[in-house]
Amino acid sequence: MRQRGHTLFILTVTLCFIVLVESSARTETPVDNSLKNPFAGNAEAIATGKVLFEATCTGYCHAAAGSARAGRCPNLFDCEWKHGSSDGEIFHSVTDGIPKTEMVGFKGKLPDEILWKVIAYLRSASQCQNSNVPATAAH
């Protein structure tokens, strides 16, 4: 258990460093809407994704699930997705980042497996339950 905590700490520090030094130059790659999360419904993966999301993403931009605090960036639990709501679109946003925003891409910086676990957590904690897919925002 101590080793797992140390590993998560190292990942969190790494993510923080990446966020702070990421350049603003991003290349746009096509979205693969056929992608499906290999960790959907996996309780252990969801727990890992929660730890990573709360330790990294909520510290700088996004609010935690159920938080009364508004984040500087979009709420990822409110059923409104500005950049697409399919697994493939969310994966694309996390890996490539969002141009002209603070959202950096993590492609090549973290294994896809880790990113999918964060996405599995986002889905599990979403207010859009009972197979309701989050709506794409009209902004």
pLDDT higher than threshold 50 for residue 136? no
Global model pTM greater than 0.85: no
b/e sequence 33-47, b meaning 16+ C-beta within 10 Å: eebebebeebeebbe
CATH architecture of 39-136: Orthogonal Bundle (1.10)
| Residue of higher predicted confidence among 132 and 3 | 3
Q: What is the pLDDT of residues 96-118, one digit of tens each?
A: 999 999 899 989 988 999 999 99
What are the extents of the domains in the chain? 39-136
User: Is the distance from CB of 112 to CB of 40 less than 8 angstroms?
Assistant: no
User: Is the distance from CB of 88 to CB of 32 less than 8 angstroms?
Assistant: yes
Task: Tell me which residue of 100, 96, 138, 94 sits closest to 115, measured CA to CA.
Answer: 94
Task: Look at residue 90 in the predicted model and tell me its pLDDT.
Answer: 94
Task: Look at residue 131 in the predicted model and tell me its pLDDT.
Answer: 47
Q: 130 falls in which pLDDT band (50, 70, 90)? A: low
pLDDT higher than threshold 50 for residue 128? yes
Cα dist from 1 to 6, 8, 9, 27, 53, whole Å: 9, 11, 12, 39, 19
- For the chain, give percent helix, strand, coil, nearest 5: 45, 5, 50
Whole-number mean pLDDT of the chain? 79
Q: 138 falls in which pLDDT band (50, 70, 90)? A: very low
